[in-house]
C-alpha cells in the first residue's frame, strides 16, 4: 500500500494534481491553466488534447517536485468539470471536434425543439434535470450534426463520447477502458437516474447512437489502471466535481449541504434514498456512491460565480489579481445601490433563463470601481442564496448551516456576506480542496487506503465559521434590489 492518494482535478480553467496523505493533509499541489476558446458569442470550447496534456503534465511535475515515486501512490481519483462533451475517434484517439464546455449556449435551439416536441416533462421525470443547453446530450447532437459523416461513424462504433472523466480514463488506460460513473452520467440529460441506464427515448430524440456511450459504474471502484513510469496504479474513484466536493465535505447524510465557489457556484444537498422532484428550478441528480445503492441530491447551479472576478481582472482590468477583489470590496461600506447580475451565459437555477444577459444596475455619477467590484462579489452570494431558498422550499427544511469550499471560499468578505444575507452559519474546512479530496476519498476507500466513510468523516476539520451579523430588515432591503436587477437581465437575448 502506497503513502498517498493522487487526485486529478480537471477543472474548467485549469488542470490540477494533488497528493493526500493518510490524514488527508495536502502533501503537494500543481496546477496549470489552459486556453479558453470563444469561437462566437455564447460559445465556449476547450482543446481535449490540451485537457489531457495539461493534466498529465501537472501529475508528473507534482511527483517530480515532491520526489514521490509512483510506487508511493496507492490509487488515483479523478474529478472533473461536468457536462463538457468530447467525441473522439476510437482508433486514433483524436477528437473530431473541440470539447464543448458546460457553459456553452450554442445548443439552445436544440433544447427549444425538444421542449416544443413535448419532451420537457420526460427529461425532468427521467433524468432529474431541466431541458437546458447546459447538459451534454444536446452538445453530442450538435457535434454529430456538424462534423460530416460523424453520426454514421458513431453507429459503426468508430466514435466514442465521453465527459472529461471518461476522456481522461480512456487516455490514461491507453484506450482499454471506456467508462464513467453515475454522477457524470446523471448530468448528460440522457440517463435515467432511477433505472440507472441510458434512456432510449432521449437517445432517439437527439439521434445519438448508443454505440458511442460509455459503461456506467458507481463512483468508488477500480475502473482500470494507469501505467505511470512502469508502475500500474489503479484508477479507483471518479466523480463529477460537485458530487466529489459533497463527498469530500462528508455530507453523507440526508439534509447535509455544501456550496462550492468555483468558476460557477454549486449548492448540493444530500436527500437520501429518494430523488426529490424540485418545484423551484433545482435539479435532481445522483450523489457519489461506493456501490449500486445510490443516494440522490438536490442541486442548484450558478453559471458565473468566481468567473465574475476573472472578468473584472481580465476583461475590465479593474484588478490585477483575483485576490485583490476582497481588498477593494472592503474599501467601501456598501455598493452605493449598485447591483451586478453576471448572467454572461444565461441564468441557472432557480431561473433557468438561457436568454438572460449580464447587467449593472443602479449606477450614479458617484459610482466608483470599488462599488462595482463589491457588487460583483455580492452577486456570488446573492445567486447562492437564491439556491438556498429554492432548496428550503422543496425540502421544507431551513438551512441553518452550510459547508463551503472552492477557490473563492478563501475570500473572507464573501463568506461573511454570504452568512449575513443567508442568516445562517458558514463553515469553511481546513482542507478547502474538497473536490479533489472527495475523489481521493472515493479512491482511498475503494482500495482500502481508508477503511470507510466513518474514518473519512473523523478526519474532517473546520477552519473558520462565519456567523451572520446583518439585521433582517437590511437583508430584505438588499434582496429586493437584487431581484429587481435580476428581472432587468432576464430574456434580454431572446
Name the pLDDT band for 453 (thresholds 50, 70, 90): very high
Compute the average pLDDT of residues 68-82: 95
pLDDT of residue 269: 92
% of the chain exceeding 70 in pLDDT: 100
What's the CA gap between 236 and 220, in Å, rounded?
Answer: 6
40 is in an annotated binding site: no
The yes-or-no verdict on residue 125 having pLDDT over 80 is: yes
447 is in an annotated binding site: no
Cell numbers linked to 160: 466514442
374 is in an annotated binding site: no
What pLDDT, in 10s, does the model give residues 170-208? 999 999 999 999 999 999 999 999 999 999 999 999 999
Compute the average pLDDT of residues 224-242: 94
263 is in an annotated binding site: yes
Q: What is the pTM of this model?
A: 0.86
409 is in an annotated binding site: no
What pLDDT, in 10s, does the model give residues 10-25? 998 899 999 999 999 9
Main-chain phi, psi angles of 284, to 5 degrees: -105, 125
Contact 49, 475 (CB under 8 A): no
pLDDT of residue 279: 86
480 is in an annotated binding site: no
Name the pLDDT band for 276 (thresholds 50, 70, 90): confident
What's the CA gap between 264 and 22, in Å, rounded?
Answer: 30
Between 312 and 291, the higher pLDDT residue = 312
pLDDT of residue 212: 96
Nearest CA to 197 out of 222, 216, 176 is that of 216
Domain parsing of the chain, residue ranges: 4-240
pLDDT of residue 274: 84
Name the pLDDT band for 494 (thresholds 50, 70, 90): confident
Name the pLDDT band for 85 (thresholds 50, 70, 90): very high
Cell numbers linked to 252: 453523507
Compute the average pLDDT of residues 257-263: 90
13 is in an annotated binding site: yes
The yes-or-no verdict on residue 1 having pLDDT over 80 is: no
% of the chain exceeding 90 in pLDDT: 85
pLDDT of residue 168: 98
155 is in an annotated binding site: no
The Cβ of residue 9 has, within 10 Å, a number of other Cβ atoms equal to 27
310 is in an annotated binding site: yes
- With residue 77 as reference, give the H or E element that holds it: strand 73-80
Between 255 and 221, the higher pLDDT residue = 221
Name the pLDDT band for 38 (thresholds 50, 70, 90): very high
What's the CA gap between 96 and 86, in Å, rounded?
Answer: 8
- With residue 221 as reference, give the H or E element that holds it: strand 220-228
pLDDT of residue 303: 86
Contact 193, 299 (CB under 8 A): no
What pLDDT, in 10s, does the model give residues 366-424? 999 999 999 999 999 999 999 999 998 998 888 888 999 988 999 999 999 999 999 99
Name the pLDDT band for 255 (thresholds 50, 70, 90): confident
If you average pLDDT over every residue of the chain, what do you get?
94
Nearest CA to 223 out of 40, 75, 335 is that of 75
Name the pLDDT band for 327 (thresholds 50, 70, 90): very high
Name the pLDDT band for 262 (thresholds 50, 70, 90): confident
**Of the CATH numbers 3.30.70.520, 3.30.70.1400, 3.40.50.300, 3.30.420.40, which one belongs to the domain with range 4-240?**
3.30.420.40
What's the CA gap between 194 and 275, in Å, rounded?
Answer: 8
Q: Classify residue 324 as exposed, middle or buried by CB count within 10 Å of its CB (0-12, 13-18, 19+).
A: middle
Name the pLDDT band for 2 (thresholds 50, 70, 90): confident
What's the CA gap between 188 and 240, in Å, rounded?
Answer: 11
Amino acid at each position: 500500500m502506497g503513502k498517498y492518494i493522487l487526485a486529478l482535478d480537471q477543472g474548467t480553467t485549469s488542470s490540477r494534481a494533488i497528493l493526500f496523505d493518510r490524514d488527508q493533509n495536502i502533501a503537494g499541489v500543481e496546477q496549470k491553466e489552459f486556453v479558453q476558446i470563444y469561437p462566437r458569442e455564447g460559445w465556449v470550447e476547450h482543446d481535449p488534447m490540451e485537457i489531457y496534456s495539461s493534466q498529465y503534465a501537472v501529475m508528473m511535475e507534482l511527483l517530480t517536485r515532491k520526489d514521490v515515486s509512483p510506487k508511493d501512490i496507492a490509487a488515483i481519483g479523478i474529478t472533473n468539470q461536468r457536462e463538457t462533451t468530447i467525441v473522439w475517434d476510437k482508433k486514433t484517439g483524436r477528437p473530431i471536434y473541440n470539447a464543448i464546455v458546460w457553459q456553452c449556449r450554442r445548443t439552445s435551439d436544440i433544447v427549444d425543439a425538444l421542449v416544443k416536441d413535448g419532451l420537457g416533462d420526460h427529461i425532468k421525470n427521467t433524468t432529474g434535470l431541466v431541458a437546458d443547453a447546459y447538459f451534454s446530450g444536446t452538445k453530442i447532437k450538435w457535434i454529430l450534426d456538424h462534423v460530416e459523416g460523424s453520426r454514421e461513424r458513431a453507429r459503426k462504433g468508430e466514435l466514442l463520447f465521453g465527459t472529461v472523466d471518461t476522456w481522461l480514463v480512456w487516455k490514461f488506460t491507453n484506450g482499454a477502458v471506456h467508462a464513467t460513473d453515475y454522477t457524470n452520467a446523471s448530468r448528460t440529460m440522457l440517463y435515467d437516474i432511477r433505472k440507472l441506464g441510458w434512456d432510449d427515448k432521449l437517445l432517439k430524440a437527439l439521434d445519438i447512437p448508443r454505440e458511442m456511450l460509455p459503461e456506467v459504474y458507481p463512483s468508488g471502484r477500480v475502473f482500470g489502471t494507469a501505467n505511470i513510469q512502469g508502475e500500474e496504479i489503479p484508477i479507483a474513484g471518479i466523480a463529477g466535481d460537485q458530487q466529489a466536493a459533497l463527498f469530500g465535505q462528508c455530507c453523507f447524510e440526508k439534509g447535509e449541504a455544501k456550496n462550492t465557489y468555483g468558476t460557477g457556484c454549486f449548492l448540493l444537498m444530500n436527500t437520501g434514498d429518494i430523488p426529490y422532484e424540485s418545484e423551484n428550478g433545482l435539479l435532481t441528480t445522483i450523489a457519489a456512491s461506493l456501490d449500486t445503492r445510490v443516494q440522490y441530491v438536490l442541486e442548484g447551479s450558478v453559471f458565473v460565480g468566481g468567473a465574475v472576478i476573472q472578468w473584472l481582472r481580465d476583461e475590465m482590468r479593474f484588478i490585477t489579481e483575483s485576490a485583490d477583489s476582497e481588498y477593494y470590496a472592503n474599501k467601501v461600506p456598501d455598493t452605493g445601490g449598485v447591483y451586478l447580475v453576471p448572467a454572461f451565459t444565461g441564468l441557472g437555477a432557480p431561473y433557468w433563463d438561457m436568454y438572460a444577459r449580464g447587467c449593472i444596475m443602479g449606477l450614479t455619477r458617484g459610482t466608483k470601481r470599488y462599488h462595482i467590484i463589491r457588487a460583483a462579489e455580492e452577486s456570488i452570494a446573492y445567486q447562492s442564496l437564491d439556491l438556498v431558498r429554492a432548496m428550503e422550499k422543496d425540502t421544507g427544511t431551513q438551512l441553518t448551516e452550510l459547508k463551503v469550499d472552492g477557490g473563492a471560499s478563501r475570500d473572507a468578505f464573501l463568506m461573511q456576506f454570504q452568512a449575513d444575507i443567508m442568516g445562517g452559519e458558514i463553515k469553511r474546512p481546513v482542507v478547502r480542496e474538497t473536490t479533489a479530496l472527495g475523489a481521493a476519498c472515493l479512491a482511498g476507500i475503494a482500495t482500502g487506503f481508508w477503511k470507510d466513510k466513518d474514518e473519512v468523516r473523523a478526519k474532517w476539520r473546520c477552519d473558520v465559521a462565519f456567523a451572520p451579523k446583518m439585521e433582517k430588515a437590511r437583508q430584505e432591503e438588499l434582496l429586493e434590489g437584487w431581484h429587481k436587477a435580476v428581472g432587468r437581465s432576464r430574456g434580454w437575448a431572446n
